[in-house]
Amino acid sequence: MSTEKLNALQPSMDSKPAGQGTIPLGVDESRTPQIPEQLSILPVRSFVVFPGTVIPLNVQRAASLKLLDDTLPQTKVIGLLTQRDETKEDPSPQDLYSVGTAALVLKLIRQSEDNVLVIVQGLRRFSLRKIIATDPFLRAEIDLPQSILPPPSKEWEATFRNLRDSAVRLFELTPDAPEQARMMIMNIENPEQLADFLAPNLNIDIAQKLALLEELDVEKRVRAVQQHVSAQLEIAQIQQRLQKMSRRNFPMLSGARISVRSSKRSSMSWVKRRAAVRNKRTSCARVCRKQTLRKQ
């Protein structure tokens, strides 16, 4: 789970995240850009973009570059759909999942003629209604489904707080998690936004993340994210206990080695003393015998 600094761009990997994390943003519905009924579709691979998150994308495919050049002068909003098979270089509509995220292009940085970095912010879920163009890039008519919120209740509030507390604890136990992650999570007051921030950071496969993106029932989505967070938290807690046990046991083992060495030294000293006494007695006996022989 993360909000890490941008990593070095990976060559030959088009429309992949240039950094490993997502940054949550409070979505103000009154300021959300209008999402057109028709969107240019940018295929992405190996990850899923959720609403309310910001992520850098490394774009290199010719069709994707053409999409940015033709679309951005008209609108800054594009559609992001995850590929079913990330190895496909020229995916068709059948190669894409049917639910994705409408995203706002915040910044475009042209690295070279055939390499562009774009920073996008996820806005809303969308579903494909109809493909209207496939060349030179995909365009589609879309629907914007509404999320289903549960009625306010103490139980729902407790469910939300439990997820937030579990997520904070998990980030605290994650060695490579950014320091500001805890504060970011604690500042999220909307259960849906919290679930959508945590989902892309979970250590689960693409199909499971897509299931969370497709789930419109916010209560079901929050509970599903809670299950994944709880499972990862349990593993992190076991790892922490094992590390503590190792730190406690190593000094004990060192002490045991010292004790063994000391006892060996003591045993050797005792043996040497006994040998010295025997040698002394033997010498005395020889001297006495010589004296007796002289007298005789």
Among 62, 43, 15, 34, CA closest to 140: 43
The pLDDT tens digits of the residues spanning 64-76 come to: 999 999 999 999 9
Rounded-to-integer distance, Cα 40 and Cα 183, Å = 35
- CA neighbours closer than 13 Å in the CB half-sphere of residue 249: 6
Count of CB atoms within 10 A of residue 211's CB?
A: 16
The whole-number pLDDT of residue 270 equals 53
pLDDT confidence bin for 16, thresholds 50/70/90: low
Question: Which residue has tokens 């008209």?
Answer: 74
Helix-strand-coil split of the chain, %, nearest 5: 45, 20, 30
Report the DSSP pairing between strands 77-82 and 99-112: antiparallel
Mean pLDDT on 146-156:
96
198, 167 contact by CB (below 8 A)? yes
Q: Which helix (H) or strand (E) holds 64?
A: helix 62-71
Rounded-to-integer distance, Cα 239 and Cα 232, Å = 11
54: β partners: 23, 121
144: β partners: none
Give Cα separations from 194 to 26, 119, 157, 166, 204 (angstroms): 10, 21, 13, 12, 17
Q: List the structure tokens of 121.
A: 């912010």
Q: List the structure tokens of 136.
A: 């030179």
Residue 248 has pLDDT above 90, yes or no: no
122, 57 contact by CB (below 8 A)? no
Q: What is the mean pLDDT of the chain?
A: 82
Rounded-to-integer distance, Cα 4 and Cα 35, Å = 29
Mean pLDDT on 8-16:
41
The pLDDT tens digits of the residues spanning 43-69 come to: 999 999 999 999 999 999 999 999 999
Rounded-to-integer distance, Cα 109 and Cα 107, Å = 7
Q: At what angle do helices 218-295 and 191-198 cross, to 10 degrees?
A: 50
The pLDDT tens digits of the residues spanning 76-103 come to: 999 999 999 999 999 999 999 999 999 9
Count of CB atoms within 10 A of residue 9's CB?
A: 16
Burial of residue 206 (number of CB atoms within 10 Å: 0-12, 13-18, 19+): middle
pTM for this predicted structure = 0.74
50, 17 contact by CB (below 8 A)? no
